[in-house]
Amino acid sequence: MPFSIALAGKGGTGKTTVAGMLIKYLVKKGKIPILAVDADCNANFNEVLGLEVSDTLGNAREEMKKGIVPGGMTKDVFMSMKLEQAIVEAKNFDLLVMGQPEGTGCYCAANTLLTGFLEQLLDNYPYIVMDNEAGMEHISRLTTRNVDRLLIVSDTSRRSLQAGIRINKLARDLNIGVGKSFLIINQVRETISDKMLAIIDKEGLELAGTIPADDSIYEFDLSGRPTIELAEDNAALLAAYKIFDKIFD
């Protein structure tokens, strides 16, 4: 079974950037190959990783629904082929993007497709990093389940921390098989207040560490440069590496 890490948190906390730092860390430590999974319907993990995406699981499902299946090919064979095509290969890691169905509606079917396909890939990758959508839907739909580490990413705002607390509580209540949960506070410009630390302690969350706000990350994002290319001496990256050392201890 692979060692799996899922990231969750409120939107805008830099969750996907932290996921990219984790991929960089795993490669640096020789923990490869890695399957990076973008389970967010608003997919942008590929931008952090510097990869082009040509197909998604959502697209595959839409094509099947529309009957775009070559003659003489069963739907099962067609879907298997399309799912394989949705994997973007890179050096040391691959990327799988869930994507979204066309139009409005529930994403449950796409999530079910993702969960089933991941089970087929388990033997191919010793490490899986799943960047989930913001909020709690991925928990309630059980997209995030049976993971060794759940990394809840928050910023320094109270609302973001409360969202992280709710995610952690829901994961416990649903008993979805999370080995261990950690809280990461990202985009920190000042020392974490005693009040915030008291809330974290009261809720039983384990604070793995903090990552400082970094202007170079903002500049990378603004210029469209993949943040996986951050210099190894970048302060935010070094702080993230210390956190990852802790969660793998």
- pLDDT for 200 beyond 60: yes
- pLDDT for 15 beyond 90: yes
For residue 35, give the nearest of 77, 68, 5 by alpha carbon: 5
pLDDT of residue 78: 76
pLDDT of residue 48: 96
- pLDDT for 55 beyond 70: yes
- pLDDT for 142 beyond 50: no
What band does 50 get if pLDDT is binned at 50, 70 and 90?
very high
- pLDDT for 145 beyond 70: no
Please state the length of the chain: 249
Cα–Cα distances in angstroms (integers) from residue 211 to residues 24, 132, 234, 235, 238, in the given order: 15, 19, 11, 8, 9
Q: What is the pLDDT of residues 173-194, one digit of tens each?
A: 877 778 899 999 999 998 899 9
pLDDT of residue 121: 77
| CA Rg value for the chain | 18
56 or 3, higher pLDDT: 3
Coil vs helix vs strand at 212? strand
Residue with tokens 């202007």: 215
Q: What is the pLDDT of residues 66-112, one digit of tens each?
A: 777 777 787 777 777 877 888 899 999 999 888 765 455 555 655 56
For residue 205, give the nearest of 249, 243, 167 by alpha carbon: 167
Q: What does the alpha-carbon distance between residue 47 and residue 49 come to, in Å, rounded to a whole number? A: 5
State what percent of residues in the chain have pLDDT above 90: 53
pLDDT of residue 140: 44
192 or 123, higher pLDDT: 192
Domains along the sequence of the chain with CATH: 3-247 (3.40.50.300)
pLDDT of residue 137: 57
Exposure on the CB side of residue 215, measured as CA atoms within 13 A: 0
Q: What does the alpha-carbon distance between residue 137 and residue 127 come to, in Å, rounded to a whole number? A: 24
Q: What is the pLDDT of residues 203-247, one digit of tens each?
A: 989 999 999 999 999 999 999 999 999 999 999 999 999 999 999
Whole-number average pLDDT of the chain: 85
Q: How far is CA 96 from the centre of its chain?
A: 11
Residue 34 · residue 93 · CB < 8 Å: yes
Mean pLDDT, to the nearest integer, of 114-128? 79
pLDDT of residue 101: 53
pTM for the model stands at 0.88
- pLDDT for 162 beyond 50: yes
